[in-house]
Amino acid sequence: MSESVFLERIERVADALTRSGADAMIVTPSTDFAYLTGARPSLRERLIALGITADGRVRAVAPVFELDAMQPVIDIGIDVIAWSDGDDPAAMLIEGLGLGSRQRVAIGADVPMRFTLEFNRHSDIAWVPADEVLVPLRVRKSSTELALLRGAASAVDETYRRFLATTEFRGRTELAVQDDLREYLQATGHDLSGSFSIVAAGSNAAMPHHSPGARVLEEGMGVLTDFGGPREGYCSDMTRTWSLGPASARLREVHAVVLEANRAGFAAVRPGVTAESIDAVVRGVIERAGFGEYFTHRTGHGIGLDVHEAPYLVAGDTTVLEEGMAFSIEPGIYIPGELGVRIEDIVAVTADGAECLNNADRSLIEV
């Protein structure tokens, strides 16, 4: 992204700080840091931080021997204060931002407590969550961000196609199959360091976040696969459930209900409705089919730089959907000791409805 994108985001943060009554915001390496600067330094024991004040002052601090990771920050014109062991970087940032006592400072959710305590040693700061500043900015994706999300979704669609077409499943363990799935993720441009994959066979699929193990895939098993991760900075996330050989009548029954719920959720998305209303629509389909007690998680989560971010499609999230928001719709039915089915797509809100970013086959494929 261009330098102007990050400078505009920083300006919007300053405006949001003013509206919220906060004097400044501090974030450490995280997706918030990347959103504002394009830099992705590692979060270690030495302080790296970015500070923005309501009046537009911007400063960062970083160890002198980690300045190469801060080059994107320097490139957009932010003053990076380099410090050496023995210096006090918390005090240096507070001074650089011109913060005094009893000021309200929004702090990023990923700032470690040890750094917060360091700042507290130097100033009587009233901390407030930075989410009230950052979430409204990050929740609506720009056209560039949506293009990156489409690219990630297309890549994970291709991952699934290759995975089913070329993987040998019979007689192999979940772990072995997961290794193959990870290779396909990497081949389609995903960053494996942040990618994830679930392979859950038979009754193991009744655990929504099952950790793949030594179970051997056998004929007639339903298999739940959930996979994705960052690609060019923005995340994919998709789940499909398929059958190894002919599917049982029970698996077909449950899969049909989950697919209906997935489609109903997509059809309900449009600007002006609430996040929780989509959950109610999806949950209603499953409850009317008699499986309500087996749908044990929210309907969806936002996606972007993080695979899980706001908004959350769950009762209690009254966020009003707006054009540019992107999130998952992932109904599931999990019957302990028997089976599990989930179908997950990423959806973006458009001016008059929704766009489904995933196009991989949702049917109960028999491999």
Domain of 65: which CATH number? 3.40.350.10
Q: Are residues 275 and 246 in the same domain?
A: yes
Please tell me the pTM assigned to this model.
Answer: 0.95
Q: Tell which residue, 117, 111, 51, 43, has the closest CA to residue 80.
A: 51
- Quote the number of domains for the chain: 2
Q: How far apart are the first and last CA of the chain?
A: 41
Residue 215 sits in the same domain as residue 287: yes
Rounded Cα distance between 86 and 45, Å, is 14
In the chain, pLDDT over 90 holds for what percent of residues?
Answer: 95
Tell me the residue range of the domain where 134 lies.
3-138
Q: What is the pLDDT of residues 315-355, one digit of tens each?
A: 999 999 999 999 999 999 999 999 999 999 999 999 999 99
Among 138, 171, 189, the domain boundary falls at 138
**In this structure, is residue 366 part of a structural domain?**
no
Q: With respect to residue 324, please indicate whether it lies within any of the assigned structural domains.
A: yes
Residue 362 lies in a domain: no
Please check whether residue 323 lies inside any domain of the structure.
Answer: yes
79 inside domain = yes
Residues 296 and 223 in one domain: yes
Regarding whether 107 and 158 lie in a shared domain, the answer is: no
Provide mean pLDDT across the span 42-53.
Answer: 96
3-state secondary structure 98-142: CCCCCCEEEECCCCCHHHHHHHHCCCCCEEEECHHHHHHHHCCCC
Q: Are both 169 and 236 inside the same structural domain?
A: yes
Looking at the domain assignment, is residue 214 inside a domain?
yes
CA angle in degrees (0–180, nearest 5) for 204-206-210: 55
pLDDT value of residue 121: 85
- Does residue 122 sit in the same domain as residue 172? no
Are 36 and 68 members of one domain? yes
148 with 54, same domain? Answer: no
Domain boundary among 89, 109, 138: 138
Asked if residue 21 is part of any domain, the answer here is yes
Quick check: is 186 in a domain? yes
AA letter at 195:
S
Separation between Cα atoms, residue 38 and residue 146, nearest integer Å:
17
Where is the domain boundary, 138, 163, 192? 138
Q: Alpha-carbon torsion 167, 171, 176, 181, what sign? A: positive
- pLDDT tens across 261-277, in order? 999 999 999 999 999 99
Is the four-CA dihedral 42, 37, 32, 313 of positive or negative sign? Answer: negative
pLDDT, residue 268, reads: 98
Query: Residue 158's domain is classified under what CATH number?
Result: 3.90.230.10
| Residue among 180, 343, 309 at smallest CA distance from 234 | 309
For residues 222 and 343, membership in a common domain is answered with yes
